Chain A
């Protein structure tokens, strides 16, 4: 028999699931900007924000919605080497995988990009761009200058990574979109919607206003942290439900358990 808190726990598994995309005010605005930037003749679009603000999910959703309509490609995971990256670009250009034991010449790629400028408008979504080596970022910039490839680059917003963005892309970036952490109200809406998706309205309404204040304070409005906290919370509930059911009340979220989850996840230091 499936446990009643297991569903709730799974609602907060931190994975990119476009089907369960939750539209909040901040992300809705960012998505609208992204959509609009796809139509413009910009060379590069920078999407940045702190880890866990939903950049990858936003790019995934964009890719899912437009990859049939546009020449849109998504480099979801960072490549470990330049060869691998150019192999992917080769596949984008030719729709064929890069043959074994062959290398792509960067100058050839640039020339190819210039040739197809009038024929194709390729859009490449690059996630976790902060993990690319600086030389590669410089080459991405040069490729964007050919006018045939538009890069939508997702970056973590840290002081160092901001520098990376500035150094390599500042002159080429025509559009810059920032994703912020959720406000308390947005976080509340996020938790509700996550639980509603799983049909756990009773649990969702078991949270009190003070709980959301705490969650927001501990997580800083970060969705990933929020997922971690609530996953742990429902895992604790699952444990108590199995071993000491008299100590919990279904339909009501206990502040004690919420604090215990925060201690467990390191959000509260004892």
Chain B
């Protein structure tokens, strides 16, 4: 039958392609991460490991917008394309209950990693359901960059003082942040107040909004019980969301789908006075080749809200071993090497944000870059999104409810959050 020869041909082709990767060296580890600077730094660090041990470590990347899909498409198919994944903190629920991550609790105990890494990072990047699933790799929090030259311009300072009655400077609270954004919002001069996160293809908008909510003393819900009604739509959350909407009116045009690339670019094009971004994206701003204003760029941690509470949205990830990897022993060896203090120092030196307590708090680290001090402060005040297995549903529901209000002023903050409470209730009840 011809059918048979077709199947034969297909099987032959399948065999030929399946055997292609096998030709490569057996001593090869693959790490999956999103496309951003830290992944390149990790590749550089891994190259040192390769030089030391002969084991090739490749860091594969994909854009943030489909990082989640790509990872779980592979994990859910029980695929072994990746030996390790630098998974987002919100995935811990799905990764652990789905059986995709290897339980690292014994590994933590054996190497006393609990004592080595900053406790908050272990809690957020590693822990779910009482067990530990990842080694903290990249600490990160949402912070701000600002134009020092605009802030320190005598004429601007005088005008600002005349208008608002206090000195122009790094904002001490959200009210000042708002005032400064309003002050610099001058579309006729092609200058704008600030750049915010608004993108809805993954978690950008949610991170920007949750940070404001936390700072206003609100919460997304009770993570332990799953209670959301009265918490996500509380009066302080409504107030926080209204402020986020107001801040949005001070952004450059077309700011309704902005994430790190857009926010950095707003800054390097000289469009904005302040720009929200994760610290991991600040190297590009400190680099003169990519930011003409590098010398006059300052950085600050997210300011406190009206009640004095101060929080920053958690970014960053931990490194997990994939259950389906056939090279788990090699992966453990790499993790062990990675957790060493000298390697962590090297990691910080290359540009990674270490979570190693000793390295992070050292004077050397805090002075190493213009933004490390703000980073160090931010890591003390981080808070995170839901990490339950259905976090993605919660995330997209939040995007759908909040984005039309923030970017187009459709409906009210109260309506958006009430609607969100109903959506979340339905999802969390399952």
A and B form one complex: no
Interface residues of B (CB under 8 A from A): none
